[in-house]
Amino acid sequence: MAEQKRLTESLKKTYEKMVNDRQPYVDRAIECAKYTIPSLFHDDTNDGNTAYTTPYQSIGSRGVNNLASKLLLAMLPPNEPFFRLSTSSEVNAELEKKPTIRQQVEKELAKIERDIMKYIETHQIRITIAELLKVLVITGNGLLYLPPQGGIKLYKLHNYVVQRDGIGNVIKIITREKIAFSALPDELKAGVAKGKDDVKEDTMVDIFTCVFRSTDGDVFYSYQEIEEEVVAGTENQYPVDSTPYIPVRLFKQDGEHYGRSYAEEYLGDLRQVESLSKSLGEFYAICANIILMVNPTGITSIRDLSKAKSGDFIVGRRDDVQALMIDKFADFQTANVGIKEIEGRLSFAFLLNSAVQRQGERVTAEEIRYVAGELEDTLGGVYSILAQELQLPLAKRLLNQQQAIGAMAQLPKGTVEPAITTGLEALGRGHDLNKIDMFLQYLQVLPPQIQQMIKPEGLLSSIANSLGLDTEGIVKTPEELQAEMQQQQQMALEQQVAPQVAEQAMTSGEG
């Protein structure tokens, strides 16, 4: 029986059915965005012309930006790769027999890591990941798309639906995009306009894209539909670990298709600080409004007061004129204290009280490790979840992209896999560098005969690979060292032979 490569129902109908399960998450996300960054997630009907209500406080937006920035620093450190390419156990067994080849393989893998990090910086990958992390803090969900031809795109929660099995594996993803009728290929315009009289050039058309897992779980099939008709040429299939779609959750709940957000856990405090800040803002506005009251039975003339200029003299009595005072200062002082307490809790929750990175200096590996550990302790393992659901699939997809566009050679399947280091462990090869440093410290107290067992070439190569440093043009190769030794031996031999040749020449001349 042939494998079914399409859903039995149209993507539009399937999408509309799955929207009902997604709606509670969308509603909570809109509520969280309301008190943090409203423009980051909004109702599906809003667009670029929508005027959003500005919150009365900034602690929410500051918290989201700060937490997302620290997540980005820990997940995509600017000075080193966030993953390490390692060979399989079978390949390692072969390389153990050939140390020179092993060092060359490590060197090439380190170069691939640097090339991918350079690609991240030059193709807006970091920018999109930074936006994704803000969306995750507010909504808890996001979908990345990395097409084979390169680039990256972010889908927010109201533009896709997802279905997972009982242990969280993705079964089905359907995205919805809107595109103007004029931007469609000519062969698709006829099908869209068929039977319709009101289709204009600026009419928006829905495009549905589906990615679903095969029954045996080995591959993902994908295709697109417009107006419930399959678009020719869009049918593809991908290995399970190389699908271009990466659905990400911040907090996972067993049995749920979508994740939960960080802001949702502190929504009560965000609501309270917004309400109290609004009340205080209105109170400050009333206090700033100066209103003077004049005794109606007094001798002071309101007309004279209104027309008087600075330095003028008028007939009147000071007691006849008083400024309007609001006797609510003590009450609002209590509200102000309440705001400070809530802001203190939110500052602790969103890590606003901690500062690790020094101003005006490069971010060190130790600072990155500290941030990663702080995130792990404060967020209860969310960094580890992102490592498995975001970093690892992202590294694999970027590796596949580089091979697809010809930026790097094709690697034999199953020989090289990326590995992410998370939590208190150092990111990337920095952890190995710490181990080498400790090894050298122990080596200094050992007897000289043991120190002589160290291979300088292998040690130097390991240090360079741990730093992610390209040693080309810096460290001499074994061939260059051998050539230098031969040259030195030749020069020494010539120096020994030269006096003898000169003496023989002089003896021959005398004879």
**10-48 pLDDT, tens digit each:** 999 999 999 999 999 999 999 999 999 998 998 777 666
Structure confidence at residue 103 as a pLDDT band (50, 70, 90): confident
Among residues 351, 18, 291, the alpha carbon closest in space to that of 162 is found at: 18
Residues near 229 by beta carbon (within 8 Å), at least 6 away in sequence: 191
Q: Helical H runs in 35-156?
A: 59-75, 89-95, 99-122, 125-139
- Report whether pLDDT(75) > 90: no
Q: What average pLDDT does this structure show over 465-492?
A: 74
Phi-psi group of 33: left, alpha or beta (phi > 0 → left; psi -120 to 50 → alpha; rest → beta):
alpha
pTM for this model (two decimals): 0.76
Give the pLDDT score at 114: 86
Query: Strand pairing partners for 494?
Result: none
CA distance to 133, 140, 394, 463, per residue, from 144 (Å): 11, 14, 9, 35
CA distance to 68, 269, 317, 343, per residue, from 62 (Å): 10, 14, 52, 11
How does 258-268 read in b/e, with b if 16+ C-beta sit within 10 Å? bbbbbbbebbe
Q: Residue 342 in contact with residue 273, Cβ under 8 Å?
A: yes
Q: Residue 373 in contact with residue 381, Cβ under 8 Å?
A: no
Rounded percentage of the chain residues whose pLDDT exceeds 90:
26
- Report whether pLDDT(415) > 70: yes
pLDDT for 439-467, tens place per residue?
888 888 888 888 778 877 777 777 777 66
Among residues 216, 247, 261, the alpha carbon closest in space to that of 26 is found at: 261
Measured between its terminal Cα atoms, the distance across the chain in Å is: 104
Query: Strand pairing partners for 294?
Result: 321
**Higher-scoring residue by pLDDT: 353, 188:** 188
Structure confidence at residue 102 as a pLDDT band (50, 70, 90): confident
Q: What average pLDDT does this structure show over 162-180?
A: 91
Tell me what the pLDDT averaged over the chain comes to. 82
Rounded percentage of the chain residues whose pLDDT exceeds 70:
84
Structure confidence at residue 427 as a pLDDT band (50, 70, 90): very low
